[in-house]
Amino acid sequence: MTDMQPNPELGVDRREETVVTQQPGYATTEQTVRDVAAERRMQAYQLTRIIWGLLTLLEIMLGLRFLLKLMGANEASGFGTLVYGATALFVAPFSGLFSSWTSGAMILEVTTLVAMGIYALFIWGVVRVLGIVLERTGARTVTRSTRELTSGGPGNERTTHTTIND
């Protein structure tokens, strides 16, 4: 579903740069640029990683359920009880939708496959909507601090802070 690697095209890195200059008559001039949009994209990226990770875990559990049923595994065994119990809630909305084919102890449970597809499609839609809602192409904050030497000798300074939001 996702490769779990940062996409360099999204610019999910946090970018902050500080420039310090010395000029005659000024102690220092410092300018900090902070890319707020990149920080927000990083948070959205982390959220989607968590969502895809949870979906992957669910899909693995549902896939195990399907394979155990198909192979006719004993439902009373410890592992079978764990898998069937953990996935029963997720398969319940689809029970009765299709009939299951049986051959001896083997069961072809089509509802589990349908549940896997529906959950994957639902999560894909949720991630797409989150991407649209949280998308912000550009925003940055520029803070400029100037320490100016004033008359009266060393130690007499005036500091000015200016912040601009784009």
Residue 9 is predicted with a pLDDT of: 45
Inside any domain, residue 9: no
Asked whether residue 21 is domain-assigned, the answer is: yes
pTM score of the predicted model: 0.66
Distances (CA, A) of 129 to 11, 44, 161: 19, 11, 39
Instruction: Please check whether residue 1 lies inside any domain of the structure.
Output: no
> Is 7 a domain residue?
no
Residue 146 covered by a domain? yes
pLDDT, tens digit only, all 166 positions of the chain: 444 444 444 444 445 556 666 666 555 666 666 677 777 788 888 999 999 999 999 999 999 999 999 999 988 899 999 999 999 999 999 998 888 888 888 999 999 999 999 999 999 999 999 888 877 666 666 666 666 655 655 666 666 666 666 6
What's the confidence (pLDDT) of residue 5?
Answer: 46
- The one-letter amino acid at 26: Y
pLDDT of residue 6: 46
* Residue 3: per-residue pLDDT: 43
Residue 11, domain member (yes or no): no
Total domains in the fold of the chain: 1
138 in a structural domain: yes
* DSSP letter, residue 94: G
Q: Give the structural domain span for 88.
A: 16-165
Q: Is residue 43 part of a domain?
A: yes
